[in-house]
Amino acid sequence: MVVVGFAFDALLGAGGVAVIVAGGIAVAMSIGSYLWSDRIALAMSHARPADPAHYQRLHNLVDGLCIGAGIPKPRVYVIDDPAPNAFATGRNPEHGAIAVTTGLLDRMDRIELEGVLAHELSHIKNYDVLVSTIAVVLAGVVALVADFALRFLWWGGPRHRNDSSEGKGPAAILGVVGLVVIVLAPIAAQLLQFAVSRRRESLADFSAVGITRYPPGLISALEKLRDDSSVVHSASRATAHLWIESPLDRRSGRGAWLNRMFDTHPPLEERIEALKEL
């Protein structure tokens, strides 16, 4: 964000104001994501609290896994959606939440469901949700600032500069460097987000096996997810990194190739093969 702020300043001649503004935006967005990311993710996914009486098996599994993992029990939610999937959210174990779809509850047996829940609890225990959420927010802020800068230049650029000095000397060099940074920064931020998300997914798989002590459970669950082509209706690219597998369409339909290109998860086959080696 600071680099983008300097690039913004080099292009617009804001006298350092752009750096301060960029830093302020980054801090504000990070604080906002830290405090309210769980509520936003649950609301966007249309999650509702899981009734302990109606979803007794779900709550029993979460209770047992939390004891094994040594973390407080998170809030448990259910999403009315036939696609099997689940995600965790919350800035730390004391403010964690797990949401599962009704499709996941219908299609997974007890051992498989235990593996999925252990994976999500691992995200909470390892603070993966906090790291990934901050990465997503900052990548989004970089993209917004860069887009604003390019639009500003497109519609005439800074008006206060002397036209005779435009394009000459060090100012011109700084302007070119700034333009390059503005163009490349969103791509770099997005790649960083993907790298963080993919590494955290692999870590959660191994951590889940450490909790359940039974790799075949999670392996079988991932195989079922691999063979299922349904997508979560309430999912979006903003929350895709939270789910145990990408909730977006990657096989057919409009935008499938784009979802594959910007996938936030390692291929399920790779994750399955890695677990089989344990």
The residue ranges of every structural domain in the chain are 2-35+130-186, 36-128+195-276
> Length of the chain in residues, anyone?
278
Q: Which of 127-141, 192-206, 247-261 has the lowest mean pLDDT?
A: 247-261
Stretch (H or E) spanning 58: helix 56-69
Average pLDDT over residues 203-227: 95
Q: How far is CA 112 from CA 58, 142, 167, 217, in A?
A: 12, 39, 63, 5
β-sheet bridge partners, residue 75: 97
More confident residue, 39 or 17: 39
| Contact predicate 106/57, CB 8 Å | no
Average pLDDT along the chain:
82
pLDDT of residue 68: 92
- Closest by CA to 41, choosing from 87, 94, 8, 7, is 87
Average pLDDT over residues 104-118: 97
Average pLDDT over residues 94-118: 96
Stretch (H or E) spanning 86: strand 86-89
The pair of three-digit structure tokens given for residue 170, joined into one six-digit string: 């060090």
Q: How confident is the model at residue 85 (pLDDT cuts 50, 70, 90)?
A: very high
- Closest by CA to 125, choosing from 42, 205, 66, 78, is 66
The model's pTM:
0.77
pLDDT of residue 54: 96
Average pLDDT over residues 148-161: 62
Let me know if 177 is exposed, middle or buried by CB neighbors in 10 A (0-12, 13-18, 19+).
Answer: middle
β-sheet bridge partners, residue 89: 97
Residue with tokens 């994976």: 119
Q: How confident is the model at residue 154 (pLDDT cuts 50, 70, 90)?
A: low
Q: At what angle do helices 215-227 and 110-125 cross, to 10 degrees?
A: 100
Is the sign of the CA dihedral 73, 226, 214, 205 positive or negative? Answer: negative
Is pLDDT at 200 greater than 80 in this prediction? Answer: yes
The pair of three-digit structure tokens given for residue 254, joined into one six-digit string: 């409009």
Is pLDDT at 63 greater than 70 in this prediction? Answer: yes
pLDDT of residue 1: 72
More confident residue, 172 or 259: 172
pLDDT of residue 153: 67
pLDDT of residue 246: 82
Q: How confident is the model at residue 174 (pLDDT cuts 50, 70, 90)?
A: low
| 81 phi, psi to nearest 5 deg | -155, 135
Is pLDDT at 46 greater than 70 in this prediction? Answer: yes
Question: pLDDT > 90: what percent of the chain?
Answer: 42
The class of domain 36-128+195-276 in CATH terms is alpha beta
pLDDT in tens, 6-16: 777 776 666 66
Active site residues: 120
Question: pLDDT > 70: what percent of the chain?
Answer: 79
Q: How far is CA 243 from CA 159, 167, 181, 248, in A?
A: 46, 48, 32, 10
